[in-house]
Chain A
Amino acid sequence: MEVFVQQLINGLTLGSIYGLIAIGYTMVFGIIGMVNFAHGDVFMLSAFIALIFFMLISAWLGAGLIVLTLFFVLILAMFFTSLWNWTIERVAYRPLRGSFRLAPLISAIGMSIFLMNFVQVVQGPRNKPIPPMLNKSILLIDSATYPVSISYKQLVIIITTVVLLAAFWYLVQKTPLGRAQRACEQDRKMASLLGVDVDRTISITFVMGAALAAVAGVMYLVLYGVVNFADGFTPGVKAFTAAVLGGIGSLPGAVLGGLLIGLIEVMWSAYFTIDYKDVAAFCILAVVLVFMPSGILGRPEVEKV
C-alpha cells in the first residue's frame, strides 16, 4: 500500500510533465492536422534555456530565494521558447501549408534533427547538471517499512501544473483568442470567411504549445537536475503517446493521457522491470493507435471522400 501511494505521487509528477508537453502536440494536430515532430526537441531546448537563466539569476539573486528564482526562470523560459517555436512555425511549417500531406511531417522531422544537433553544437554533448535544490520533503505516511513522502520539488511541480492548466483552460474557453482557436480547429476555411485571422491563430497555437512545453522543461530540470541534448526524443514520443491515448485533438484528453502514461511508466518500473519502461510506453502507443485510434476522449474521425 505504501509503495503504491508513493508511486502514485511519483507518477502524477511525471505525468504532469508529459501532460504539459502533450497539449502542444494535441493543439497543433487539432488545428493543422500535423504531427509536430519537433515538439519534443522544443521541450529539450526550453530545458536548456531554463538552465542558462537559472544559473544567471541564481548568481544574481543568491541561492536563498529559490522560489523567486524559479518564478523568473519560468517566465523567461516561456517567453524565449515561445519565440523559438513561433520562428520554427514561420520558417519551417507555414510555407508548407497546402503542400502534400507528408511534407510538413518531413519538415518537422528535419527541424527535430536540426534542433537536437544545434543544441549539441552550441552547448556541448555532455550532461549538464545543476546544483540540487528544494531537497526537503514532507512525510505523509510514517511507516517503519516504507515511509511515504512528497518532496517540495514534486509539490511545486504539481501545483504549478494545476495553476497553469487552469489559466490555460480559461484562455481557451473564455477569451476571444481561444474562441478563434477553437473555430479554426473545427473548420479553418469557414473561420477565415468569418474574419478570423487563421495564420495568426495558428502562430498563437504554436506559441501556447511552446509556452506549456517550456513549463514542462523547467519542471524537468527541477525534478532531475540534469539535462542533455538528446533528452527531447523519448519524452517527446511519450507525450505524443499521451496525446493519442487521451484522444488527439482533445485538450483534457492530453492531460489525462499524460497522467496515465506517467502512472503506467512509474508503476511498471516499480512492479515489473525498469529496463523495459520505455518499451511499455511505446507498446501502449502502438496498441492505442491500432485498436482505438480516437483515444479516450477524442472524437472518432470520419473520412470524407
Chain B
Amino acid sequence: MAMDTSTPTKRQADMMKALKEAAFAALVTFGLCIPIIAWGTRQNLDNQLVLDPRWDAVAWAVAIIFVGRFLMALRQQKRGDGKSIVRLLPHGTVGFFQRHSRIFSLFGLGFLLTFPIIAINLAGWGGALKWIDNFGVQILIYVMLGWGLNIVVGLAGLLDLGYVAFYAVGAYSYALLAKNFGLSFWMLLPLSGILAAFWGMLLGFPVLRLRGDYLAIVTLAFGEIIRLVLINWTEFSNGYAGISGIPRPTFFGIPFTAADDGFAAVFGLEFSPLYRTIFLYYVILCLALLTAYVSLRLRRLPVGRAWEALREDEIACRSLGINTTNTKLTAFSLGAMFGGFAGSFFAARQGFISPESFVFMESAVILAIVVLGGMGSLWGCAIAAIAMIGGTELLRELDWLKQIFGQDFDPTKYRMLIFGFAMVVIMIWKPRGLISTREPTAFLKEKKAISADMVQEGHG
C-alpha cells in the first residue's frame, strides 16, 4: 500500500480484473449447476423418474456467486495483494476474555445453574419444557461430548472419527442392564463409563501406533463396525428396531410419575412433566462440569502434560522416554469414558435407543464442535456447541422463512449442509478454531496466552 493508486486508469483496470474473476467464477458455477441443480429428479405417480427443469435456481446461484466474487475481488485489491484478514472480534477481545476467564466462568456457571428458573419465568410452565429440553439438555449433551472428545483430539492430538461408538457403548450398557437386570441409573452411570473406557482401551491398544490420518480412518472403521454389529446382532440389541421402554432415572429412588409415591406427591407439589426435565438438566450439567473439571485438572498432572507434549511432537516425546502408547491409551480411554457417561445419560433421557442415533454423522458433528471451537479450548468447545446445536435447533423455529420461500421450505433440511460448509470455511479462515489461543500450564511469572499458530503440530 506504499503508493496511492487511485488514478482512473488503474481503477478501471482493477475493475476489469475483478469483473473477469467474477465472470470466471460465475462460469464455473454454471458448469457445476448444469446437471445437478438444473434438473431435479422426481418420481411420478407411476413410480417412474421424471425431470423437472429448474433454471431459475441456476440463475440465482450464478448471480449470487458473480456478485460475491466481484465484491471479494474488489476488497482484496483495496487491501493490496497481502492476505486478507477478517476479524470477527476487535483485536484483544479474546485476550480480555482470557484474562478475566475466572469471572466469565463464574458468570456462565451462574447462568447455567439458574437457566431452568429463568426459562420458567420467561416462557411459563408450558413453554419452558421446550427450552430446557431442546436447548438446555440437548446443548449440554453435546458440550459434554465435545469436552470428552477434546481430551482425545484437543489435548492428545489423536483424531478420533469413531467417538460415537463409545457413546453407543454407554447407551446400550445402560439400556440393556437397566432393562434386563433392573439396575438403577446411579449404579449404571459409572458402570457404563467404565465399560466404554474398557472398549476404548480394547480398540485403542492395537491402533494407537498409527499416524494421524490412518488413526482417523481406523477409528471410523471401528465406529462403523460397532454400529453394524448393533444392527445385525438382533438377539443382543434388537437390531434396527432398537430398545424401547428403557427405565427412566429416578430422584434417588423416587420416580417422576403422577403416582402417590412420585416426586410431585412426595414433595407436595402439583404434578408436572417439567420436574423430570429439570432434574435431567441438572444431571447433565453436573456431568458436563465434571468432564470440564477433570480435563482442567488433568492438564496440570504429568499425564496431561505428556498428552500435550505428544500432540506437539511425538518423536521428541519418545526420545525423552515417554511411553507414547500408554499415554495415548489413557487419553483415548478417558475420552471414551466420558462418551460412555453421556451415552448412558442419553439412553435414560430418551427412553428409546436404536443404531440410527449412532451414525458416523454424529461423530462428525462432535468432531466439528471440537475443531471449530479450537482444539484444546474448553470455552471454544462450549461456544461451538451452543452455536451449532443451538443454531440448528433455532432453525426449527424459523417459521417466518416460509413466508419468503414458500410453504414447502424446511430450514432444518439445511442443517447438515451448513454444518459441512462451516467446517470447510473455518478451516480455511481460522485453521486453529474460533478460540485459537492456548493457555500454558507452566509459566514463569505471568500467564500469557499464546497463539495456537505458534504451536507446531507433531506427527501424532
By a beta-carbon cutoff of 8 Å, the part of chain A in contact with chain B is: 34-35, 45, 48-49, 51-53, 55-56, 76, 80, 83-84, 87, 91-92, 95-96, 99-107, 109-124, 126, 128-131, 233, 237, 240, 244, 275-276, 278-279, 282-283, 285-286, 289-290, 293, 303, 305
Q: Is the CB–CB distance between A87 and B32 below 8 Å?
A: yes
Q: Is the CB–CB distance between B427 and A52 below 8 Å?
A: no
By a beta-carbon cutoff of 8 Å, the part of chain B in contact with chain A is: 28, 31-32, 34-37, 39-43, 47-49, 51, 159, 161, 206-207, 209-210, 212-214, 216-218, 220-222, 224-225, 228-229, 232, 315, 360-361, 364, 367-368, 371, 413-414, 416-417, 419-424, 427-428, 431-432, 456-457, 459
B220 / chain A contacts, CB cutoff of 8 Å: 237
Name the residue on B nearest A29 (C-beta): B213
Q: Is the CB–CB distance between B51 and A101 below 8 Å?
A: no
Q: A114-B420, A276-B232 given as contacts; is B371 within 8 A of A106 (CB)?
A: yes
B221 / chain A contacts, CB cutoff of 8 Å: 237, 282-283, 285-286
> Once the chains are docked, how many angstroms separate the CA of A42 from the CA of B414?
19
Q: Pick the contact of B315 from A83, A105, A107, A305 — CB < 8 Å?
A: A305
B416 / chain A contacts, CB cutoff of 8 Å: 113, 116-117
Name the residue on B nearest A83 (C-beta): B31
> Once the chains are docked, how many angstroms separate the CA of A95 from the CA of B416?
23
> Once the chains are docked, how many angstroms separate the CA of A131 from the CA of B47?
10
Q: Is the interface of B mostly helix, strand, loop or mixed?
A: helix
B420 / chain A contacts, CB cutoff of 8 Å: 110-117
Q: Is the CB–CB distance between B39 and A52 below 8 Å?
A: yes
Q: Is the CB–CB distance between A109 and B457 below 8 Å?
A: no
- Report, nearest first, the 3 A-B pairs whose CB atoms are least far apart: A110-B423, A113-B420, A114-B420
Q: Pick the contact of A290 from B47, B216, B218, B414 — CB < 8 Å?
A: B218
> Once the chains are docked, how many angstroms separate the CA of A123 from the CA of B52?
10
Kindly name the residue among B31, B217, B367 whose own CB sees the greatest number of chain A CB atoms within 10 A: B217
Q: Pick the contact of A279 from B209, B225, B367 — CB < 8 Å?
A: B225
> Once the chains are docked, how many angstroms separate the CA of A92 from the CA of B212?
20
> Once the chains are docked, how many angstroms separate the CA of A96 from the CA of B457?
14
A sample of 21 cross-chain residue pairs with beta-carbon separation below 8 angstroms, ordered by A number, consists of: A49-B35, A51-B41, A52-B35, A52-B51, A83-B28, A100-B456, A105-B212, A107-B427, A109-B367, A111-B424, A122-B36, A122-B37, A123-B40, A129-B47, A131-B48, A244-B217, A282-B228, A285-B218, A289-B218, A290-B206, A305-B315
Q: A102-B159, A110-B421, A113-B364 given as contacts; is B224 within 8 A of A237 (CB)?
A: yes
